Amino acid sequence: MSSKLLLLVTQADLKSLIPFISDLAIPDWNERVMLLTFNENKSIRRRVGSDEFEGNTDLAIEKITAVRFGYCIANKHVALDFSRLSKLMPTLRKCGSLKILKEEVKDALRTLKLHWLDYAQDQWEHSSIQCMNPYEWCHQFSQLGINRKVGENLLKQLKVIPASHLQRSFTVKRGELTGMNVAHAYFEDDEPGSSSLMIRSVLEHIYPNESIIAISPDSFPAISNLSLNRIYIYEDGLWSGVELQKRLTGLSIYEAWKKVPLVFRYAVTSDAGLVVGRMHCALHGFNNVTIEPAENHFSFLENKSECDFLNIKKSDDLRTIIDSAIEPFVFKNRILWKNDLESGRKIMESLGKQLILPFLRRREQAKQQKSGKIVQPLEDIVIRNEKINKWSLGSLKFGSTIVFSSSIPKSVLPIFWLKGQVKWGSAVLIWRPLFWDVRLTDEVQYKTD
């Protein structure tokens, strides 16, 4: 359980503290910070032993004993019996001015990793593919003449899913397996940046090797002779659902895969991916497929729920409607961006287009090499503007800030994982990302410390 902060302040303090904290802290700071307001101790009738003092102090003690507060900071002029509070809360800090109060609050936010920089650093350190640390990465915005707050707002929303979350998500309760002959499967993929090796490693730590099946996109293992009651299929993330549609279409060709119950399990899911997967199954009669939401579940659809898509009759319509309903994750929190939402989006799209074009050219060149076609020089490969736009905020403009500890989903903002020259106004910079990605370097550059 995370430690929390209790602030005992006046109503006047509150008006200044809330915007101060909101500016420094991550969006959900109020889940770990409690503010209680009291009158100032100016009246002669407000003294230790009076009804107001004792009632206020009883309330503060009630909160302290009910919630685990690691820190308590107070305006020393509020009507409270501090001698009673100090016995219960030895770490209580009393401040004589709003300036000192803010300094103490800032220090507490940093210690609790609620401050944007300490939070981002903590998340970044969960990654095994670190590139530039959050402070230096954020400084690049200033070098381009862009308000540093843009970078801070992005880092406030960074989320690194550690490997331990995959193991927890992939562990099936024993009761589900009792008396069942099951297999645990993963899709084997040779694409650079694929997480299939990591998934296989996690499964081998949980289940017997003989129960683990590798599924290749080009060849599906014969399962008709295995007499299975159920197959669990594991993947790291369900984002747009595009890959899931391809997986289901490939599996449906083989009759045996349409008969045995298939359960898809993920470490991370999105509302868009779940809708696409479930609606695809309904449209194509995949009654044997279950797609489970993950503990780490995120919303990318703009004010819509699964019910809004129930009348879709064709797969093509499903893809078109879902894609048009995507709201970039990084810009969903309008309170965080305040009046800078549109300018922030324009900046991200501009930098994203500049970084994604070389990436898309490399992907196209790799396809030419694989197919045996004439391989064009990178600078001669033409990428349609429509495609560049769709990737400017990550695949299908998902604008995600959610990454795995050893891989980067395509839905993530390009500035998190791509390196390259970018321009903003008259400023030019070789942009360095937060994380290395094998789709950029063709090899993972792991941290060494």
Which of 133-147, 181-195, 204-218, 255-269 has maximum average pLDDT?
133-147
Average pLDDT along the chain: 90
Please report how the helices 116-124 and 148-155 are oriented relative to each other, as an axis angle in degrees rounded to 10: 50
Other CB atoms within 10 A of residue 345 CB: 18
What pLDDT is attached to residue 183?
Answer: 94
pTM flag (> 0.75): yes
User: Residues 438, 191, 384, 245: is their CA dihedral positive or negative?
Assistant: negative
Which residue in 205, 125, 121, 217 sits closest to 166, CA to CA? 205
User: Are the beta carbons of 166 and 198 closer than 8 angstroms?
Assistant: yes
Which of 51-60, 197-206, 283-292, 343-352 comes out lowest in average pLDDT? 51-60
Asked if the model's pLDDT at residue 49 lies above 70, the reply is no
Asked if the model's pLDDT at residue 43 lies above 80, the reply is no
Going by the DSSP 8-state scheme, the letter that residue 434 receives in this structure is S
Higher pLDDT, 213 or 441: 213
Asked if the model's pLDDT at residue 45 lies above 80, the reply is no
User: Are the beta carbons of 64 and 88 closer than 8 angstroms?
Assistant: yes
Average pLDDT, integer, range 285-292: 93
What pLDDT is attached to residue 193?
Answer: 58
Asked if the model's pLDDT at residue 449 lies above 60, the reply is no
Which of 18-32, 50-64, 125-139 comes out lowest in average pLDDT? 50-64
Q: Could you tell me the CA-to-CA distances from 16 to 13, 194, 335, 379 in Å, in that order?
A: 5, 48, 17, 54
Asked if the model's pLDDT at residue 107 lies above 60, the reply is yes
User: Percentage of residues in the chain with pLDDT exceeding 70?
Assistant: 93
Average pLDDT, integer, range 109-122: 98
Alpha carbon distance 209, 292 (integer Å): 24
Alpha carbon distance 69, 79 (integer Å): 21
What pLDDT is attached to residue 222?
Answer: 77
- Backbone φ and ψ for 203, nearest 5 degrees, come out as -65, -40
Which of 106-120, 213-227, 234-248, 250-264 comes out lowest in average pLDDT? 213-227
Alpha carbon distance 45, 51 (integer Å): 9
What pLDDT is attached to residue 68?
Answer: 82
Alpha carbon distance 271, 289 (integer Å): 17
Pull the structure tokens for residue 379. 């600078």
Residue range 135-162, pLDDT digits in tens: 999 999 999 999 999 999 999 999 999 9
- Backbone φ and ψ for 74, nearest 5 degrees, come out as -135, 145
Average pLDDT, integer, range 307-321: 79
Asked if the model's pLDDT at residue 447 lies above 50, the reply is no
User: Are the beta carbons of 124 and 113 closer than 8 angstroms?
Assistant: no
Asked if the model's pLDDT at residue 225 lies above 80, the reply is no
Which of 108-122, 170-184, 341-355 comes out lowest in average pLDDT? 170-184
What pLDDT is attached to residue 445?
Answer: 40
What pLDDT is attached to residue 100?
Answer: 97
Average pLDDT, integer, range 382-403: 97
